[in-house]
Amino acid sequence: MQHKIEIVQTLLEALPYIKKFRDEIIVIKYGGSAQESEELKAKFAQDIVLLHTVGMRPVVVHGGGKNITRLLSDLGVDTRFIDGQRVTTREVMRVAEMVLSGEINKEIVALLNSQGARAVGISGKDANFLEAIPKDSENFGYTGVIEQINTEIVDNILDDGFVPVIAPIAGSQTLGHPGFNINADLAASRIAVALGARKILFLTDTPGVLDGEGKLIPTLTIDQTRRLKEEEVIRGGMIPKVDACIDALRGGVKKAHIIDGRVEHSLLLEILTSSGIGTCIEL
């Protein structure tokens, strides 16, 4: 009986958040170990299905950097990074699109559908959803920055009761152009702003933003985050994540969260409980 009472208490704790975020768009950047472990994949899919079932409108934007790097290695193609972002040559662009828009996107769609969601996979090239320009063609090649977002296709997917799953490949207005590889964190941020999302969450392989002693920082403001960057407490691959959080907040998203995707049901713990599990960044 005590176990049953604890279940009811858990549901009651979640109820205010279910009411608060009902009909709200929640953008989730899916990556890291949560995208690698078969067990964590299933838990992630269950989380998305539950959020959708209780009336939230989840939008999944996924990465796939490890898969891209592995395939590039198998093909003998060199790859390198600058400040956590991949330099995209024409060869790398072909592989990135193959992995992101093909292999990974459809795997996530199938996973969500197997758990009872109705998911639809697209890339930024579909219906000109994402249009980009070069970030710095001399240094980054076909790595792009999003210039325009045409939300109609995703709005329609959401209105029809489906879960959009988005690969961060953008199109170009130049005829015959191969397109652009977009950093998935920054893509998620821009998409969240364009869709008017209430929240954005980034699944990572760390508990969240850590201080100089390696301890989790539960909450941060934009100014505090910028200071940590200047002091190089925030560095490497965490830089594009916090930059994406700041961009989303400045664009109107209420809260941005960096959470540990290695923890089972991390999405539910962050969205539906008072304590949360990661770092929440807000204005």
Sequence-ordered list of residues with C-beta below 8 angstroms from that of 280, at least 6 positions apart, any chain: 218, 219, 220, 255, 256, 257
DSSP state, residue 34: G
User: Do 222 and 281 meet the contact criterion of CB atoms below 8 Å apart?
Assistant: yes
User: Is 218 strand, coil or helix?
Assistant: coil
Q: How far out from the chain centre does Cα 159 lie?
A: 21
First to last CA, the chain: 44
Is 65 annotated as a binding-site member? yes
Q: How far out from the chain centre does Cα 58 lie?
A: 11
Beta bridge partners of 42: none
Is 86 annotated as a binding-site member? yes
Sequence-ordered list of residues with C-beta below 8 angstroms from that of 97, at least 6 positions apart, any chain: 123, 169, 178, 179, 181
User: Residue 213 burial by CB count (10 A; 0-12/13-18/19+): exposed, middle or buried?
Assistant: exposed
For the record, the structure tokens of 108 come out as 């996530």
Residue type, 239: I
Interstrand relation of 180-181 and 144-149 (parallel, antiparallel or unpaired): unpaired
Binding site per annotation, positions: 64-65, 86, 181
Binding site per annotation, positions for substrate: 64-65, 86, 181
